[in-house]
Structure 1
């Protein structure tokens, strides 16, 4: 079967299990806070903001934002295969765009900049792994196949196939940057 038959929620859950799950199997996996939050986020994203479903799912999402410590809004554009490595203390600005098959660990902040050279919110490519406590700021573009190491402060553009380390960050060209870090790609 092609993966076009599967919903975005099934594709997100595929990243964790390596197999496409039925709706019942997805519900069973929702005991995991990371997967539960992604499920609710995707439900809120599916419905128009001012519709009954949109209002309902946004209220539910708000409750679980507070409970789990994930500050991700339905307005945030997130590609399929989204994966949260650990739960808690995660903040992503609603203007951020995130590509397919991206992993984000705990303690990450992805924020807009209101002044300086890179005003705006980050655009993150496909197959990007963002390590614990990384901070990504401004209207920057992060390419595909990029590994952002733990505790990195990033406020500049990053080309495809890169490893980003440190504060201030250093960018290294690395062909297989995310190999072994991003599994079960959709």
Structure 2
């Protein structure tokens, strides 16, 4: 059976494959509701009528829930928002599969200097509350970014980043028990 991106996102939350009807029932959860609307806006982004409709709906829920994520943002399957609350992701950032993002996180652009640009975040990255990730940097796979960390440098795979300024610690099982129900 082929699963949709929305089904894969919702699987991360429950560990169960849901039908379309079950997905709609789960949309009382603000995080899942926003992901549902975001994925619809992404799917129809370049369509004249439905694209405008879903962008309008998305804008409503961006304001309601405090998530600033745009349809242009490339986000892999299995996206998981840990908690309801303020969240800012630049539309040019790239996020891989099976990534968890907590409340208060900023993933943004750096406008000057050698790291000018937007972050690229690989697969299976866990980003803790109030972390800030900025600049033309790359975060490797299986990386845990601790709450309140500031990251404006490349992070190799299999690492934990802690602090402001962030310090990298190698860890083969960095996201074990943090990222559940991987797709």
Q: TM-score with structure 1 length normalisation?
A: 0.97
1:68 to 42, 49, 65: 65
Match of 1:134 in 2: 131
What's the CA shift for 1:117?
1.4
The CA deviation at 1:155 is 0.1
Confirm whether residue 167 of structure 1 aligns to residue 156 of structure 2: no
Report the Cα distance in structure 2 between the residues aligned to 1:10 and 1:102, rounded to whole angstroms.
15
CA distance, structure 2, for counterparts of residue 133 and residue 93 of structure 1: 15
Instruction: Provide TM-score, normalisation by structure 2.
Output: 0.99
Name the structure 1 match of 2:180.
183
Structure 1 moving runs of 4+ over 2 Å: none
Q: CA deviation at 1:49?
A: 3.4
Task: Give the secondary structure class of the aligned counterpart of 1:110.
Answer: strand
CA RMSD of superposed structures (Å): 0.7
**Equivalent position of 2:90 in the other structure:** 93
CA contact (8 A) 2:45 2:71 kept: no
Supply the distance in 1 between the matched residues of 2:85 and 2:51 (Cα, whole angstroms).
24
**Deviation digits for residues 28-87 of structure 1, max 9, x if unmatched?**
000000000000000000013351111000000000000000000000000000000001
Q: Residues of 1 paired with 2:85 and 2:47: CA distance?
A: 28
Q: 1:118 aligns with which of 115, 119, 127?
A: 115
Candidates 15, 24, 27, aligned match of 1:18: 15
Q: Residue 151 in 1 paired to residue 141 in 2?
A: no
Paired residue secondary structure (1:147): strand
The correspondence of residues 45-64 of structure 1 with structure 2, limited to 5 A, is: 45-64=42-61
- Alignment partners' CA distance in 2, 1:23 and 1:86: 23
Deviations 1:117-148 (A, max 9, x none): 11110000000000000000000000000000
Q: Secondary structure at the match of 1:116?
A: coil
Aligned residues between the structures: 183
Unaligned runs of 5+ in 2: none
Distance in 1 of aligned mates of 2:47 and 2:27: 26
